[in-house]
């Protein structure tokens, strides 16, 4: 049952990731890669960078906590890789949402 939940989350994130890739390329064609589009991408890139930095800090905190636990905690490698893939794909979604939000503001 746990595998079904993880698989459904992966599929939802994968579909949204593919949607975001298509939508971003469409927006790039609409704006003809002009100065406004480059400004949007730059500001959205800063937001995405903050997301990844927060993710790195969270991973570092979790590693320190795991080092101080009295009993070792074993997590399957496939679970870790799945969570990592989800986190990376969500980064693209964060960038798209930032572009969409900034596009409405500019």
DSSP line for 50-103 = HHHHHHHHHHHHHHHHHHH-SS-----HHHHHHHHHHHHHHHHHHHHHHHHHHH
Q: How confident is the model at residue 68 (pLDDT cuts 50, 70, 90)?
A: confident
pLDDT in tens, 5-23: 888 998 999 999 999 999 9
Task: Say if residue 51's pLDDT is above 80.
Answer: yes
Q: Read off the pTM.
A: 0.84
- Domain extent at residue 48: 2-105
Question: What pLDDT, on a 0 to 100 scale, did the predictor assign at position 39?
Answer: 93
What is the domain count for the chain? 1
Question: What pLDDT, on a 0 to 100 scale, did the predictor assign at position 2?
Answer: 76
Assigned token pair, 8 = 């459904």
């Amino acid at each position: 049952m746990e595998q079904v939940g993880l698989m459904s989350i992966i599929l939802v994130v994968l579909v949204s990731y593919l949607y975001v890739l298509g939508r971003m390329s469409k927006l790039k064609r609409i704006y003809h890669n002009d100065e406004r589009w480059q400004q949007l991408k730059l500001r959205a890139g800063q937001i995405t960078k903050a997301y990844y930095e927060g993710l790195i800090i969270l991973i570092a905190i979790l590693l320190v906590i795991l080092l101080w636990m009295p009993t070792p905690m074993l997590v399957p490698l496939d679970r870790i890789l799945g969570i990592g893939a989800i986190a990376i794909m969500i980064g693209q979604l964060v960038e798209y949402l930032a572009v969409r939000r900034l596009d409405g503001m500019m």
